[in-house]
Structure 1
Amino acid sequence: MLYTIFEKIRRRSQASVLKNHPRVSLKDLRSGTDNHFILDPGLEQVSLGHRASFRNYIHILVGKKARLDIGDDFFMNNFCSINCLESISIGNHTLFGENVKLYDHNHAYETTPEFRISYSDFSTAPIRIGNNCWLGSNVIVLKGVTIGDNCIIGAGCTVYRDIPANTTVVNRQELILNTRA
């Protein structure tokens, strides 16, 4: 009983983060439990289409001057995250399996005079995901990628280059079986 009360409070609190931000537009949002929305006050725009649905334990970060556009009838399963520092757009009728991750940025780094990784500087490039796409569980989409309409990205794929429309991508892992007598 007490858990249910706390869960309602947490759900309302996270919904208010979206509803109270002046640059967020949403319609018919369905949100599960323990979702986390981090929206910079200086973001450009967040737009969530009709019937956007987020299951549980979702993490969405939209940074300063960044833009996130999600189409109608979008579904995001448990433990997914969107990390948007420039621009991410997701088409209509698209669904994400569990644990899908989108990153439109990388940490900046230098190799000379010595190797150094920046904790606060990033290189960015937009991500675009078309209509009628299905990203299976544990898919990672990296910066600068466009996935065309009607694509299926199989479980466990890391997408680091463009995928043309009407394409199925599979992760061909070789399973090595050693049987013991």
Structure 2
Amino acid sequence: MLFLKIWYRVTGFFTLAFFKLLYGRNFQHGKAFHVRAGFHVSIEDNGTLHVGDDVFFNNYCSVNVRSDVTIGDGTIFGENVHIYDHNHRYGNPFLPIKEQGYTQAPIHIGAHCWIGTNTVILKGVTIGDNVVAGAGCVIYKDIPSNTIIMQNGQVHSIIATTKEHLA
């Protein structure tokens, strides 16, 4: 197990170094930013990716940026999470979709969130602090802080006054 942890840290270090070299100032990250296998970043059109301290991306996640994506401190992502701050335009039926350009809007993901496996986060979304997004969610509108959201659309506020309530 120790070997596997060392392997993840070493390969993650080189992955982040590659993206930093490729995107320069457009890719900014804090301390203790860790990624696992298959992490991918795509930054186009002078977009920017800002990642806070102590952020973790599990296997096969991707962040696709044309505008701006900001991720707060201590946020963790399950496997296969995809983040897109843009979408294809498709209003002209006489022009191929790939030639119609994009709409785009920034994404802000707060601090200390847990984004579950196979979640997709779409353009223009603000996710507050301490949000839990269950596996398989498609997040297309804002989520307030201290909220749990599940794939079936149920939303629950986290209300706790003592540590015992959080256990």
Common fold: TM-score over 0.5: yes
Q: Give identity over the alignment, percent.
A: 40
Aligned pairs (5 A) from 1:120-159: 121-159=101-139
Following TM superposition, where does structure 1 have runs of at least 4 consecutive aligned residues deviating by more than 6 angstroms? 10-13
Structure number with the higher strand fraction is 1
* 1:121 partner letter: G
Q: CA deviation at 1:64?
A: 2.5
Could you list the runs of 5+ residues in structure 1 that have no partner in the other structure?
A: 1-9, 25-44, 174-181
CA contact (8 A) 1:146 1:163 kept: yes
Aligned pairs (5 A) from 1:10-159: 14-21=15-22, 23-24=24-25, 45-111=26-92, 114=94, 116-119=96-99, 121-159=101-139
Structure 1's 47 and 162: CA in aligned 2 closer, same or farther, altered over 3 A?
same
Q: Highest Rg: 1 or 2?
A: 1
Structure 1's 153 and 15: CA in aligned 2 closer, same or farther, altered over 3 A?
closer
Structure number with the higher helix fraction is 2
Length-normalised TM-score, structure 2: 0.77
Q: CA deviation at 1:23?
A: 2.9
Could you list the runs of 5+ residues in structure 2 that have no partner in the other structure?
A: 1-10, 154-167
CA contact (8 A) 1:110 1:116 kept: no
Length-normalised TM-score, structure 1: 0.72
**Equivalences, count:** 145
CA contact (8 A) 1:46 1:69 kept: yes
Where 2:98 maps in the other structure, the secondary structure is strand
Q: CA deviation at 1:16?
A: 4.6
